[in-house]
Amino acid sequence: MSTPATESPETAAVPAEGGQGRGGSVAPRRVGGPRHWWDWVLAADPGLGQLQSGWRSLVSMVTALAVGYGMSVALSLPAMLGMMVGGMMGLMSAFAVAENTPKRLARAILWMPFPYSAVLPLAAWLHQDRALEITLMVVALAVTFFLARFGALALLTGMMLFNAFMVGMMADIPLNLCGKLFVVAVVSAAAVLAARLLLCCPMPREDLLRTQRAFVIESRRVADAAISALDPDADHEVAVRRMRKSLRRLNVTTVTIDGRLGQPEVAADPDTAELLHQRLFDAELALQGIGQSVQRLTRLQVTAELREAIVVGLVIARDTPLGRSDALRLAGQLVQQQATAVLERPGIDSDEAEAAALARRVGNLIDSLASALTDWLDLGWNSPTERAKVPFQPVIALEQNRPAGTGAVARRVSAAQDVQGWQRAIPYLRAPLHAGVAAAIVCPITDAIDPQRFYWGLVGVMITLFGTNTTHERLRKLAHRMAGTVVGAVIGIALLRLIGPGHIYWTLTVIVAGLSIGAWGIQRQYAYWVVGLVTALVQLYGMSTPYDGMDHLLAERLLDNGLGILIAIACAALIFPVSSRKITQEAERGYVSAVEHLISQTVLRWREPEAPVRLRGAARGVDAALFQIRGVARPLVRMPMGVRGRSPDNRVALLSTATGHARAFAAAADMDIDLPAAIRDRVERITELFAESLQVLDRHFATGEAGGTWVRVGPYIHDLEAALRGPGGPRAERLQRALQELAALDEALAGYAEARSLATTTQVPAPGSSPAATRLGGESDGGAGRSPSLDRRTTAALAAWAAHSRRAGDTRGTGTSRLAPAAAPERVAPLPARRTESPRGAATAIGTAGSSVTVVGSLSCADHPGGCDAWITVVSDRGKRQPGVRAVRGRYRVTGLRPGGYTVVASGAAHAPRAEFLSLSPSDSGRELRFDIELEPASKP
């Protein structure tokens, strides 16, 4: 996609690699630099949270094990004990401490040795009393879940207490060594802190910048998927699915950026945060609109010239580099011009008219995208020159660097239960009781199986209840645990036999690598963590267990873990349960509440323009509610669409559609407007009816009873639109767009209400209630419905494009459309007419090369006379994109072209995309033609 910048006459000399922008702002290269092979890593892991987790584990474990071994030598301790205590500091630092400021990081890591060492002597002393030891371990597990309600540091304390009991039981630590082990723990923790501050210091602002880069990458993917979907020979269903996936990932990335902006360490200036939020919201809205329009175009008969114009425009949008996003505006104008030409043809059918209207919308959205990205770049690293009307307020909560899912909903359900007396303590005691009862049941069973390793059942209880909120989530975790254990056992045994006994350094390497890779994958799939963990544990077991007995040992571990998980699931379902049905209802009720808040804020925004209203923020609240619904509605096993039936998936699809309309409504409605009294009264009547229908849904979820009616407001909106068809201006157009999106939102939620067994009805306004067409105050007629005037160079480009579309293939030769910055027309000569020979831009025969045509050429500019590195994209006159070719040192070669018309688009990191027309006649078959392209310089001479 494009990077966030535009070029004005004052900034046309800005280097594309990122330098000083308007007002001295700086655009970090990591946000808008050229495409790289590692971009897929950023796209798959916005902010690199998963990669940082793996790196953090690697640094912590290597440091802790090395320091633990060194301290064991210095204090004359058994090496295994020193490494076990040091390794525990590293392991818990990596997995339980993820603070994003050095101060909080130091506080958490340096605190770990104290609760751990306080319990270690008790565990050593109790080693001879089996029953009391097991009892205290059960209590410690319950206390850990109780402390989890009081913050991250309290949870870390509980986990260190439980780990101390488990290590003391496993290692049979002598009581007289506990003092030395405390020293080992303190020194190891201090070393881990120093290593993390040095090698993986928390940098939340850098994480935000990486997430913005992921937004750029996903934007390019959306444009590329749209190009593929328009391919006349493509499997459109596959292409559309790919584009929908890209749009979903784009939305996740944008919402994640909003969540990061809510962190105090990221955006000290609320005005900057709010402006960044608005720009990215508008950019995402434009990209979502482009994707939806292209999806509709794939179902229509699109003329070849219109398809070619859209594809070329999207190629330019995808490849525009930093500092040159004004090329986006020209691309949008080219698409609009071609769409207008189709609409003006006499006798076009309805499909052609609809396709042309959609194409014109794509052109408008490309232009809107350019505006949003331009404003984004203007923010840069420095304070903005304009102030946000309302400071940024966090709406999105992140869990493990992703928008929150079922956790927030489950907490709301737990806190909202109407109870009296002692039952008010249930929210605090529910999780500890689940853990304590499950552990009390599991321990005797696993102790009977193997007294030395009964704690495996406790581990199963702990991992089941941590981070899960519904029975479906716990059952999924069971499946991941079982599958990961089997795969990890196979890999671990293979590596164990490959390394052989006695190779301690190789064994430690596998242990650290397994834990690090598992830490990287845990946020993606829990099974990945289990594979890495079991692979590491197999190496540890190999130090004390004969290789021939490893299969039996791992099968026993699988059994104990499975028992612990199943018993924990049963306890959670039977002891003060929070039903999945209530969680689902609360999630959907939260969605309805978010939409109602958006509507009420819109009414306030129009009634009191100076009120502190954040409509885009309210729309992000709808996004957050949708993420929670998706988390709750996620099925235990994904089935084919025909098997799943209607209920959850169809409801989620309806709410996803409604969320898209809510975003578009918020963007269109966020304006200062002075409504006449008659219009204002009718708008408020529409919003009142809408709010009443939302309250009907809310009561349905609150009481669980069927009843109530959703009243569609579409007829009222259409009646109001008729009243606004008189002379108007941009604000009137935005108001009409907002009303159209509100009608679409109403229709989607009416379908959702029907899916929830509510009645729906439609009220028709009384005849004669419509006033005469109203003109909004402060609007002028001039320019309504017309595009802004185009400069001389843009007009020439549009004319050349039209000539190419009419005459492509009629004559041999080349016409050119130079897609360089439209803001600097003095740098470009008027475009020549199409001709058959030209010193530059013409295809010249230089040899023969088989039956198809081969085109070779060079790319150069005033700044790089020796040649420019760039990508060459060739689009046929049918709108089919050829595989991209890279120009190295300014030389490129395209093979396999057939006679016909083509658009050759050259784009590089330092240049705006440039499109030139190439026409190949049948007589060119089997020949090699030369086609040189001169790019605009990256900066003025």
Sorted by sequence, the CB contacts under 8 Å of residue 681 that are 6+ apart come out as none
Looking at residue 609, its pLDDT comes to: 82
- Low-confidence winner among 107-121, 218-232, 326-340 (lowest mean pLDDT): 326-340
Average of per-residue pLDDT across 906-911:
78
Tell me, rounded to whole angstroms, the distance of Cα 825 from its chain centroid.
38
Confidence of residue 428 (pLDDT cuts 50, 70, 90): confident
Average pLDDT over all residues of the chain:
80
Looking at residue 418, its pLDDT comes to: 63
Confidence of residue 812 (pLDDT cuts 50, 70, 90): very low
- Low-confidence winner among 10-19, 71-80, 322-331, 875-884 (lowest mean pLDDT): 10-19
Confidence of residue 861 (pLDDT cuts 50, 70, 90): confident
DSSP helix, strand, coil percent of the chain (3-state; round to 5): 65, 10, 30
366-425 pLDDT tens trace: 988 888 877 776 665 444 556 667 788 888 888 877 888 888 888 888 776 666 667 778
If DSSP codes are grouped into helix, strand and coil, which group holds residue 928? Answer: strand
Looking at residue 660, its pLDDT comes to: 93
| Residue burial 624-655, b: 16+ Cβ < 10 Å; e: rest | bbbbbbbbbbbeeeeeeeeeeeeebeebbebb
Specify the pTM: 0.81
Residue 734 CB coordination number (10 Å):
17
Average of per-residue pLDDT across 525-548:
89
Average of per-residue pLDDT across 664-682:
85
What tokens appear for 506 in the block?
């190789």
Give the pairing type, strands 844-848 and 927-930: antiparallel
Looking at residue 678, its pLDDT comes to: 80
98-142 pLDDT tens trace: 887 899 999 999 999 999 999 999 988 887 788 888 899 999 999
Sorted by sequence, the CB contacts under 8 Å of residue 516 that are 6+ apart come out as 54, 55, 57, 58, 61, 532
539-569 pLDDT tens trace: 988 887 888 888 889 999 999 999 999 999 9
Strand partners, 26: 20
The C-alpha angle with vertex 16 and arms to 11 and 17, in degrees rounded to 5, equals 125
pLDDT above 50 for 865: yes
Average of per-residue pLDDT across 708-728:
79
HSE-CB at 886 with a 13 A cutoff on CA atoms is 5
* pLDDT over 90 percentage in the chain: 31
Looking at residue 458, its pLDDT comes to: 92
Looking at residue 671, its pLDDT comes to: 86
Which of 337, 309, 401, 535 has its CA nearest to residue 49? 401
Q: Indicate the Cα dihedral angle 861, 863, 866, 869, nearest 10°.
A: -70
822-860 pLDDT tens trace: 333 333 223 333 333 333 345 555 554 456 889 998 888
470-481 pLDDT tens trace: 888 899 999 999
Cα gap 32→29, rounded to integer Å = 5
Looking at residue 379, its pLDDT comes to: 66
* pLDDT over 70 percentage in the chain: 81
Quick check: 335 and 360 in contact, CB under 8 A? yes
Cα gap 303→809, rounded to integer Å = 16
Helix (H) or strand (E) holding 876: strand 870-876
Confidence of residue 487 (pLDDT cuts 50, 70, 90): very high
614-661 pLDDT tens trace: 999 999 999 999 999 988 877 654 444 333 444 667 888 889 999 999
747-790 pLDDT tens trace: 999 999 988 888 888 877 665 454 444 444 444 333 333 333 33
Looking at residue 25, its pLDDT comes to: 35
Looking at residue 268, its pLDDT comes to: 54
- The residue that leads in pLDDT, 537 or 29, is 537
Q: Quickly list DSSP for 488-508.
A: HHHHHHHHHHHH-TT-HHHHH
Cα gap 515→535, rounded to integer Å = 8
Looking at residue 486, its pLDDT comes to: 95
pLDDT above 90 for 347: no
Give the pairing type, strands 816-817 and 927-930: unpaired
Cα gap 931→906, rounded to integer Å = 12
Looking at residue 376, its pLDDT comes to: 75
